[in-house]
Amino acid sequence: MIKVQHISKSYKEVQALKDLSFEVNKGELFGLIGPDGAGKTTLMRILITLLVPDEGSARMAGLDVVNDYKKIRQIVGYMPGRFSLYQDLTVEENLEFFATVFGTTIAENYDLIRDIYVQIEPFKNRLAGKLSGGMKQKLALSCALIHKPEILVLDEPTTGVDAVSRKEFWEMLKKLQKQEITILVSTPYMDEAGLCDRVALMQNGEILAVNSPSGIVAGYERRLVAVRSDNMFGLLHDLRSWDKTSTAYSFGEFIHFTSVSDGVEGAELERYLMEKEHKNLQVKEITPGIEDVFMDLMSGSSESSES
Amino acid sequence: MATAVIKVKDMVKKFGSFVANDHLNFEVYEGEIFGFLGANGAGKTTAMRILCGLSTPTSGDISVGGFDIYTQTEQIKRNIGYMSQKFSLYEDLTISENIRFYGGIYGLPVKLRKEKEQVLLKKFHLEDQKNQLIASLPLGWKQKLSFSIAMLHDPKIIFLDEPTGGVDPVTRRQFWDLIYEAAAAGKTIFVTTHYMDEAEYCNRVSIMAEGKIAALDTPDNLKEQFGAEDMNGVFLKIARKL
C-alpha cells in the first residue's frame, strides 16, 4: 500500500533522510519509531506529497508521490504533529469544512468517526481553540478521517500526551484498523512500538530495522541481565566502572546490563556486586524490550547521538 | 529529619468557577528528586507556575526556598532554576552567546560569567563548537545544555517541565545522570514527565488527578499501595480510577 524506494532528502547541509526503503501492507498498522530529528516528519511529508524527495521514489496505493500528487491527496488522511485546525471555527464547523473540501458530508461517513466524534460532540459549538489537548486530538483525527481515506498518516499523535490518553488513542487506532484503513503512525515512545503490526526503528535519517515487534526483539542476540539493589545510583556507578561491563542503563526500577562479549555469568556479576556491599541484590536474565534493541542498534549505527 | 525547601499548605487556585488546584498539601525536601505527575489537565502546570512565582494562588500557605509565594516572588525567581522542553535556549544565538546571555539575566558578575562559560563548555566537550548556533545542535544536546544553564546562578531548587520529551533513549538516560549529579550536590529537583520509567528514578512521586493530589509516596510504596507491578500501572489506576 505504501512503497518507499531509496528516498533521500537534505535541507542545506543536513541530510534528513538517507536512502530509505520499506513497504507497508494494506490494512497494516505501521509505526515509525524514533526520537526527534530521526526524520519521521520529513518522510511523512514526502509520502503525503507536501515535500519532494531529492532522490528515490515512493508510491501510495500505487500512485507516485511526485506525479500523482493530486490523486494521493484525495485518498490520504493526515494529522500533523502540531494542532492545525481552525482555532476560530467551532468543532462542528471544522469537521464540516474538511468534509466539504473533500466533496463529502459528515452524514456520509459518520459511521467511520462515530466512536471518536461522540466523545467531543457535546462540545460541537465550542471553538476549536478552546478545547483541551485530548479533545483537540480527537477532533483532528475526526477531520483526518472524514473523507474516508485509504491511508491514514499520523505524525506523533501521542507526543506530550499522558499515559492514559495515549492508551485510549491506540485503542482508537486499533478500531480504525478493522475498517481496513492502512495506518502509518510515528512516535518517540518506544513502548508504543509493541502496539503496531510492524515498525521501522529510525535514527538520524536512517532505518535501523524493519520488522514486527516480536521480530525486532528476536533479532537481539546479546545476553541481557536486569539488576537492582537498595542503592540504585551506586549500583549504576559500580556497574559502569567494572571492566567487564559493556552497557549499563537505567530501565525503571532495574538497570539493564550487558557484559563484554556476553562472557559474564550471573553468579560472577552477583559476586562482584556483593563485594561492593549492595543490599537486597536481584539479578535475573531477561528478554529485551524494543528500547533495549533500539539502544543496541543506535550504538552500532554510523552516527550515534553523541556525534 | 530532612529540611523542607518547598512547603505547600492548602493551596487552591481557581479560574472563575473552575478549581484547577484543590487544596494541595505537600512538602519537598532538600536534595530530593521529586516527581510531579498527572494526566493532561490535572492541574500540574498551574501548580508549577505558582511555585515558580509566575502566578498567585487563590488561597493557601506556600513557601519556596524559604520565601513567601505572595510577597517574595522576586527572591523566589532568583533562587530557582527552570527548564522546559518548550522554552529553553535561543536558537539563533551561539552556544557561547546563550551561556553569556543567561548569565547576564541571572545577574552574574562578568568574571563569574566567563568562568562558568569555560566550565560548561569543558564539561560537555563543546569548546570547539562554542560559536555554533544552538539551532545546529541535536535536541538531546540542547536539553543537557539548557539544564546546566538553568543552574548557572546556583539555585537551590530546579524545576524541570518534561525535560526529556522526544529525546532518544540513550540521551534521555544521560540527562538523568545530570539530574542525579545535581541532586547529589544538594540541589532539589522538581520534575514532570510522561515517561513512566522515569517516575521510578525519583525519590518520591506525587500524582495529580482532577486538581487534587491523588497519591504521594516513594515509587516502591506506591506500587505496593496500588497493587501495581510498575509505575505505569499505578498511574493508570489513579488517572483512570480503576
pLDDT in tens, A178-224: 988 999 999 999 989 999 999 999 999 999 999 999 999 999 989 99
Q: Could you tell me which chain A residue has the CA closest to the CA of B137?
A: A307
CB nearest to B173's CB, from A35, A165, A249: A249
Query: What is the pLDDT, as a whole number, of residue A305?
Result: 39
- Fold exhibited by the domain B4-240: Rossmann fold (3.40.50)
Q: Which residues of B touch A249 (CB under 8 A)?
A: 169-170, 173
- Residue extents of the structural domains in chain B: 4-240
- Residue A30 CB partners (closer than 8 Å, separation 6+): A2, A24, A182, A183, A184, A185, A196, A197, A198, A199, A200
In 3-state terms, chain A is what percent helix, strand and coil (to 5)? 35, 30, 35
Question: Mutating which of A230, A250, A298 best tests the B interface, going by the most B Cβ atoms within 10 A?
Answer: A250
The overall average pLDDT reported for chain B is: 91
Q: Closest approach of chain A CAs to the CA of B227, in angstroms? A: 16
DSSP symbols for chain B = -PPEEEEEEEEEEEETTEEEEEEEEEEEETT-EEEEEE-TTSSHHHHHHHHTTSS--SEEEEEETTEETTT-HHHHHHHEEEEESSS-S-TTSBHHHHHHHHHHHTT--HHHHHHHHHHHHHHTT-GGGTTSBGGGS-HHHHHHHHHHHTTTT--SEEEEESTTTT--HHHHHHHHHHHHHHHHTT-EEEEE-S-HHHHTTSSEEEEEETTEEEEEE-HHHHHHHTT-SSHHHHHHHHHHT-
pLDDT at position A156 over 60: yes
CB contact under 8 A, A134 and B184: no
For chain A, domains (ranges, CATH) are 2-218 (3.40.50.300), 224-287 (3.30.70)
Confidence of residue B87 (pLDDT cuts 50, 70, 90): low
pLDDT at B241: 61
pLDDT reported for residue A306: 39
Query: Does the pTM exceed 0.90?
Result: no
Max Cα-Cα span within chain A: 73
User: Which residues make Cβ contacts (< 8 Å) with residue A111, sequence separation at least 6?
Assistant: none
Task: For A55-75, write each residue's pLDDT tens digit.
Answer: 999 999 999 999 999 999 999
Cβ within 8 Å of A, B 150-189: 162, 165-171, 173, 176, 180, 184
Nearest CB to B169: which of A163, A233, A294? A294
Range in A230-239, A261-270, A273-282 with the lowest mean pLDDT: A261-270
In A, minimum Cα distance to B180 occurs at A233
Residue B1 has pLDDT above 60, yes or no: no
Residue A99 has pLDDT above 50, yes or no: yes
Question: Which tens digit of pLDDT belongs to each residue from A25-44?
Answer: 999 999 999 998 899 999 99
Q: What mean pLDDT is predicted for residues A119-139?
A: 89
